[in-house]
Amino acid sequence: MTRHDIASSLLTAIIKAEGAELCSLRAADGQEMLWQAGPEWPRHAPLLFPIVGRVKNDRFRHKGQTYSLGQHGFARDSLFTWVETGPSHCRLRLEDSSETRARYPFAFRFDVIYAIEGDRLEIAFEISNPGNETLPASVGAHPAFRWPLAEGTPRDAHRLEFSQAETHPIRRLGSDGLLDPQPFACPVEGKLLPLRNDLFKISAMIFECPVSKSVRYSAPGTPVIEVSWDGFYQLGVWTKLEAPFVCIEPWHGMTSEGDFDGDFIDKPGLLLIPPGEQRRLNHSIRVRV
């Protein structure tokens, strides 16, 4: 089975085995909320694991060995197995293998659980360590929503509304894809961030330590999408310049600082999971029409 549909009376989602990726999210009236992987960016909502962003030169060290690992890791391009499927939920799993260990020398089990309850899609990441050494990892969501949300709505009518006022400086990426050491002024006006193209001229906006645990995305006369998170410490907001989507991305961990050159396990922001233990991180997407 390559895809599985789950639904309630208010929401329908399609999940595919490749990357355990959410590829459609429709409201009860049939409106599609997700970007449909057009030529500007051929993904919908990829999962970021076992890193978020990049490591320096796409390489890291562990116990004296050097490994190559590309941007956002390998989960988004891996085939997950179906563990459970039902009318309103499903669970998919990715486990370490000889192929993953060649790039990332750790034992892991990564489960992704989707469940629809009313107008809300709940998504959980369960990362387990079946090995005998600490499992260092980052994980993130990367859902892309249509921008504009409704045909005929101006792009600059859209906004993000955070649950709390955000004042802390944001971070950006440098030309090498690594974290720019220079912080940038927060563009949020109290709780509101009016969306406009020039916000993304430099790179994604990275909220390194947001106070908020949710954000609403909307424009006058369009559906309201609310993204909430628990266990994630960073938030990325990104689009390709002037592309018709915007990504709202809860993360645990982010791209490396340009001057970090230590062992991977010492990289700031990682989950450090002891042998035999598990970590669960949750986020949700609510659609109100």
Q: How much is the average pLDDT of 47-53? A: 98
Q: Which of 63, 159, 144, 113 is nearest to 281 (CA)?
A: 113
For residue 1, name the pLDDT band (cuts at 50, 70, 90): confident
Residue 167 has pLDDT above 90, yes or no: yes
Average pLDDT, the chain: 96
Provide the whole-model pTM. 0.96
pLDDT confidence of residue 242: 87
Residue 60 has pLDDT above 90, yes or no: yes
Distance CA 162, CA 218 (A): 12
**What is the H or E stretch that residue 98 is in?**
helix 98-103
Domains of the chain as residue ranges with CATH: 3-288 (2.70.98.10)
Q: Are 280 and 125 in contact (CB under 8 A)?
A: yes
Half-sphere exposure of residue 185: CA atoms within 13 angstroms, side-chain side: 3
Distance CA 21, CA 48 (A): 10
- pLDDT tens for each residue of 63-97: 999 999 999 999 999 999 999 999 999 999 999 99
